[in-house]
Amino acid sequence: MLYNIVVLHPFVNGNKRTAYELVRLFLRLNGIEIKSNPDDTYRFLLDIALRSVSASDVDKWIGMNLTKLRNE
Please state the domain extents for the chain. Answer: 2-68
Q: Is 67 helix (H, G, I), strand (E, B) or coil?
A: strand
pTM exceeds cut of 0.85: yes
| Confidence band for 72, pLDDT divided at 50, 70 and 90 | low
| Confidence band for 22, pLDDT divided at 50, 70 and 90 | very high
Q: Are 2 and 36 in contact (CB under 8 A)?
A: no
| Confidence band for 70, pLDDT divided at 50, 70 and 90 | confident
Domain 2-68 is found in CATH 2.30.30 = no
